[in-house]
């Protein structure tokens, strides 16, 4: 074993992974042998999927699949270059115009992944004497982005507006201050206090960027997201979205003013130096946008399921934090117990995602239970019953 291998083998996370594998409770990289639907097949076994981010359930929608197939027939499998050079298709430009109109901004650009959006935008917008203010529970892509920036980074407590204001007071008045927050927080399921963030931004002459990865398709008119939900779209400078959730594809975008988007086209490194989104992914996202706009009953059913599930978990005594969305955290607060419960739920026919340290503090470990518009109430009842039975066994219900 060389020095690099020896060093890496000593990391706690790898040791925990090896321990979980030895005990038969390792819950990651489970190979799915079917489409991403409410029911999937793993190792030949059918299980209910309550771990997906496809909130509108569009990953196997006939129109989305057909759009991807037709785009591949016409344009091939890839663009063989970056958007900056030879990788721009008319498909990209058409979708960017549609997204800008949908979100309510002047313009938009598409990146190859949602992670690349936050990495490339947050890292290049502000300068050495400027400030980036970020919620302590922001997505890892936002954190990765501001780590690449030369600006001063100021963290504020999760959704704590008093903490945010104190940090704004620490900033020089004549410097750029960029507040970056998730709209819907991806593990906790709670919603950013955007009205108050906007108020503070105006008070301290700051700018606001909102990551709508988990808000689009879930909140707002026709699924336009958290900013639309609160009516603050015009007051938010940059709105980010991803295609890997409600858009049933892969990729991401940022929507903003013409000036900001033009700057990003020429300075955002993860945009300029990454291969562009494939024809299939771009066309699939565009078809998903059509469905999002024209089939509001999907989002309506998603919210009926969400209210039903939230009431069910609360009535049985599950600790679910402050979630208000189809993302429901079931707090367990112990790594090993979390792994055990995920395994037992899988054996019962339910797929859920464990979230453990170091991804979260060890006393905040949880199971992430998420809903899709294509779930039925019968499927949800089956999951609620199984969770109640297993959580009772581990004495995790507060009655």
Angstrom distance (rounded) from CA 5 to CA 3: 6
**For this structure, is 214 an active site residue?**
yes
Q: Which of 61, 105, 146, 214 is catalytic?
A: 214
Give, for 11, the enclosing helix (H) or strand (E). Answer: none
Tell me if residue 203 is catalytic. no
Q: Is 172 a catalytic residue?
A: no
- State how far the Cα of 175 lies from the Cα of 130, in Å rounded to an integer: 5
CA distances from 203 to 168, 175, 179, 180, 260 (A): 10, 14, 13, 16, 22
Distance CA 255, CA 237 (A): 9
Q: In which element (H, E) is residue 367 found?
A: strand 366-370
Which string of DSSP letters, residue by residue, matches 277-340? PPHHHHHHHHHHHHHHHH-HHHHHHHHHHHHHHHHHHHHHT---TT--SSEEEEE---HHHHHH
Asked if 201 contacts 179 with a C-beta cutoff of 8 angstroms, the reply is: yes
Q: Choosing from 123, 186, 246, 270, which is the catalytic residue?
A: 186
Using CA atoms, how far apart are residues 109 and 277, in angstroms rounded to an integer? Answer: 11
- The active-site residue, picked from 177, 245, 301, 388, is 245
Calculate the CA dihedral of residues 10, 364, 148, 130 and round it to 10 degrees: -150
d(CA 133, CA 179): 5
Q: Enumerate the active-site residues.
A: 186, 214, 245
């Amino acid at each position: 074993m060389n020095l690099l291998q020896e060093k890496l083998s000593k990391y706690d996370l790898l040791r925990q992974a090896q321990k979980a594998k030895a005990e038969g409770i390792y819950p990651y990289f489970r190979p799915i042998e079917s489409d991403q639907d409410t029911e999937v097949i793993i190792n030949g076994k059918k299980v209910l999927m309550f771990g997906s981010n496809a909130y509108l359930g569009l990953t196997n929608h006939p129109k989305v699949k057909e759009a991807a197939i037709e785009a591949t027939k016409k344009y091939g499998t890839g663009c063989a270059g970056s958007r900056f050079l030879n990788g721009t298709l008319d498909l990209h430009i058409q979708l960017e115009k549609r997204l800008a109109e949908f979100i309510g901004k002047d313009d938009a650009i598409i990146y190859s992944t949602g992670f690349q959006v936050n990495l490339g935008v947050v890292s290049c917008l502000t300068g050495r004497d400027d400030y980036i203010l970020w919620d302590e529970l922001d997505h890892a892509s936002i954190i990765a982005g501001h780590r690449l920036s030369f600006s001063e980074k100021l963290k504020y407590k999760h959704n704590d507006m008093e903490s945010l204001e104190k940090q704004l007071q620490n900033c020089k008045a004549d410097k750029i201050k960029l507040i970056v927050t998730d709209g819907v927080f991806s593990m906790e399921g709670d919603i950013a206090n955007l009205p108050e963030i906007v108020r503070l931004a105006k008070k301290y002459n700051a700018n606001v960027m909102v990551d709508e990865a988990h808000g689009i398709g879930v909140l707002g008119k026709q699924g336009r997201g958290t900013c639309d939900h609160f009516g603050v779209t015009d007051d938010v400078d940059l709105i980010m979205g991803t295609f890997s959730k409600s858009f049933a594809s892969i990729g991401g975008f940022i929507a903003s003013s013409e000036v900001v988007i033009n700057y990003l086209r020429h300075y955002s490194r993860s945009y300029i130096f990454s291969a562009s989104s494939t024809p299939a992914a771009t066309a699939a996202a565009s078809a998903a946008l059509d469905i999002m706009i024209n089939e509001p009953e999907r989002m309506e059913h998603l919210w009926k399921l969400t209210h039903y599930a939230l009431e069910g978990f609360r009535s049985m005594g599950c600790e679910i934090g402050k979630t208000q969305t189809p993302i429901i955290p079931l707090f367990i607060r112990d790594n090993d117990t979390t792994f055990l419960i995920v395994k037992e739920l899988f054996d019962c026919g339910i797929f859920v995602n464990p979230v453990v340290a170091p991804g979260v503090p060890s006393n905040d470990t949880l199971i992430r239970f998420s809903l899709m518009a294509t779930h039925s109430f019968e499927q949800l009842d089956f999951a609620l019953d199984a969770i109640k039975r297993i959580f009772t066994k581990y004495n995790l219900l507060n009655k």
